[in-house]
């Protein structure tokens, strides 16, 4: 398979992934041997050129950028091979490189590190301490994800999580993820290649590649099962059990997380995995991982760090967004803990951060809250994350909970939406998904813009609804409302006008001709959701979004 040949060539040249210069001036220097992220000063005299991106990116990656009119820059160029050779000559081992950070992950003793730092091409350390210090480990711990699984499910329980965001309608229209490539960054995909519910993915050769950035090999099916659960939310197809939200998509399975511990190196692994996903040409990334506090407390982040600009992971997510990849990120499961807030890379700008609700569309108490520390709306949207259907590593459909699963459930819908709207850019897709949220006009720190919906996102009326922000023709109050709304005409020149209330498909539900400055309309008999009120006459009219709540 030609595509697999491309991916293998990238794996063989994994040392040539690199870019962008900066420091993370945090933490104190350690004399203990370990892994270090070394940043280089420049990309001078590089054998690579932005005019020849196919030398370091796949055709699919290049096509994604060209489709969205995203230019290639020096950030995309690999690390200068001469700089890497100089590092190797000191006795250090080069494990991975980063195009975007212009850095290399190396392993060496503190003595050799001094030699590396003295090289004229080296700017310094990205983090002034060993990212992963073996001497500080206290032995393997239980998986961070082991407490998520609960009871067995009856047939069809995955219906609720799919219908909540309009996936059933998306599938009815024929959009099931065909042609979309999704990278999943996780802790492992135990037995995913042997599970009946995931068998169609493998039978149809829709796993385009795998890589384990923790162990530096291609095996991902013998580690943690969390990624298997996540993959099933998108890709499972078992009519007698559960069906994922984009079950015809293709997947790149990447392990970046060591579930038995929490060290800053996992953020570096996340960076390397995202860059690899970019080089392969993925359309979307789902990551149900987040970082706040570490086993070595001196590495801990603070809430102030959750500004989308500070952490390695947040920078990597923002860079991925800048090259036209949609990143769908779990908000985190600390809503009822001492931390409470979103984790990183959920704080990144231009990504879809996903919180969790239950089957009744109510905030799930564990879902991490926003905003980001610099005041941006987070989470962006929410999906079902409590008592959701997932496939376990023994092949059974079970229930589980966490934003770990609300994220992939939504990711599959976003993939289908982009499949249905291929001319949109990644940023435009994200904005359409946000605007389809049921509380877009009144976002909050728990649900963000609310529960998105495929039909609303796929309806042009959603875009027109922004007219209500500066509506000079009329006002509506209260909005949202559970019963009656009052409409007041603000333009005195408007007389003998009409009012038309429509649902998200454009179907007219109420129509009347009016000649008074103020009148009422009842929403009591309407279902909870989003509607559109148009008022005007033959000369002019304006549309406003109206929200019906309980």
């997380």: which residue's tokens? Answer: 257
CB neighbours (10 Å) of residue 441?
20
Catalytic residue selected from 76, 186, 278, 380: 186
Three-class SS state of 257 = coil
Catalytic residue selected from 404, 406, 481, 499: 404
Catalytic site includes residue 404 = yes
DSSP per residue over 264-326, as a string?
THHHHHHHHHHHHHHHHT-SEEEE---BS--SSGGG---GGGTTTTSSHHHHHHHHHHHTTPE
DSSP annotation of 361: S
Measure the CA–CA gap between 408 and 285, rounded to whole angstroms: 9
Measure the CA–CA gap between 357 and 36, rounded to whole angstroms: 39
For CA atoms 83, 42, 76, 37, give the dihedral sign: positive
Max CA pair span of the chain:
85
Chain centroid to Cα 120, Å, comes to 38
Q: Residue 460: CB partners within 8 Å, gap ≥ 6?
A: none
Own/partner pairs, 167-170, CB within 8 angstroms, 24+ separation:
167/245, 167/412, 167/413, 167/416, 167/454, 169/454, 169/455, 170/245, 170/413, 170/416, 170/417, 170/420, 170/454
Catalytic site includes residue 438 = no
Of the candidates 291, 218, 204, 290, the residue with the CA atom closest to the CA atom of residue 253: 218
Catalytic site includes residue 219 = no
Q: Residue 239: CB partners within 8 Å, gap ≥ 6?
A: none
Measure the CA–CA gap between 452 and 443, rounded to whole angstroms: 12
Q: How far is CA 61 from CA 42, 158, 283, 303, 508, in A?
A: 24, 33, 9, 34, 43
Of the candidates 195, 190, 159, 182, the residue with the CA atom closest to the CA atom of residue 234: 182
Residues designated catalytic: 186, 226, 404
């Amino acid at each position: 398979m030609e595509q697999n040949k491309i991916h293998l060539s990238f794996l063989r040249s994994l040392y040539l992934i690199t870019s962008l210069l900066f420091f993370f001036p945090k933490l104190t220097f350690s004399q203990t041997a370990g892994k270090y992220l070394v940043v280089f000063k420049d990309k001078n005299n590089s054998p690579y050129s932005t005019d020849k991106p196919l030398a370091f990116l796949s055709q699919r990656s290049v096509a994604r950028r060209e489709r969205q009119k995203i230019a290639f820059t020096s950030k995309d160029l690999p690390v200068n091979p001469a700089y890497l050779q100089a590092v190797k000559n000191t006795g250090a081992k080069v494990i991975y490189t980063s195009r975007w950070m212009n850095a290399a992950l190396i392993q060496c003793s503190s003595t050799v590190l001094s030699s590396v730092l003295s090289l004229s091409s080296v700017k310094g350390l990205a983090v002034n301490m060993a990212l992963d210090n073996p001497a500080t480990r206290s032995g393997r711990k239980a998986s961070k994800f082991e407490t998520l699984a609960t009871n067995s499910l009856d047939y069809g329980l995955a219906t609720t999580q799919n219908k909540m965001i309009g996936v059933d309608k998306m599938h009815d229209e024929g959009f099931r993820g065909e042609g979309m490539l999704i990278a999943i960054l996780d802790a492992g995909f135990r037995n995913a290649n042997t599970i009946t519910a995931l068998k169609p993915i493998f039978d149809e050769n829709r796993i385009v590649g795998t890589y384990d950035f923790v162990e530096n090999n291609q095996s991902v099916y013998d580690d943690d099962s969390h990624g298997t659960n996540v993959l099933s939310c998108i890709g499972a197809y078992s009519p007698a059990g559960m069906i994922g939200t984009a079950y015809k998509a293709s997947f790149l399975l990447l392990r970046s997380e060591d579930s038995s511990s929490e060290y800053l190196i996992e953020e570096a692994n996340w960076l390397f995995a995202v860059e690899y996903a970019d080089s392969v040409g993925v359309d979307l990334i789902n990551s149900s991982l987040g970082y706040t506090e570490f086993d070595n407390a001196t590495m801990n982040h603070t809430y102030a760090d959750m500004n989308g600009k500070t952490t390695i992971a947040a920078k990597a997510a923002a860079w991925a967004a800048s090259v036209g990849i949609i990143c769908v990120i779990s908000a985190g499961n600390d809503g009822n803990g001492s931390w409470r807030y979103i984790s990183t890379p959920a704080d990144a700008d231009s990504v879809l951060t996903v919180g969790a609700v239950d089957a009744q569309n109510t905030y799930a108490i564990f879902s991490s809250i926003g905003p980001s520390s610099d005041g941006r709306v987070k989470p962006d949207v929410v999906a079902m994350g409590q008592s959701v259907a997932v496939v376990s590593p023994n092949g059974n459909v079970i229930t589980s909970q966490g934003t770990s699963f609300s994220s992939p459930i939504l990711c599959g819908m976003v993939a289908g939406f982009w499949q249905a709207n291929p001319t949109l850019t990644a940023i435009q897709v994200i904005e359409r998904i946000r605007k389809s949220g049921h509380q877009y006009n009144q976002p909050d720190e728990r649900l963000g813009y609310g529960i998105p919906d495929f039909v609303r996102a796929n309806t042009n009326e959603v875009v027109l609804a922004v007219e209500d922000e500066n509506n000079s023709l009329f006002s509506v109050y209260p909005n949202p409302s559970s019963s009656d709304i009052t409409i007041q005409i603000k333009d005195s020149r408007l007389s003998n006008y009409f009012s038309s209330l429509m649902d998200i498909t454009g179907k007219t539900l109420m129509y009347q001709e009016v000649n008074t400055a103020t009148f009422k309309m009842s929403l009591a008999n309407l279902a909870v959701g989003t509607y559109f009120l148009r008022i005007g006459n033959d000369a002019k009219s304006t549309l406003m979004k109206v929200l019906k709540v309980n």
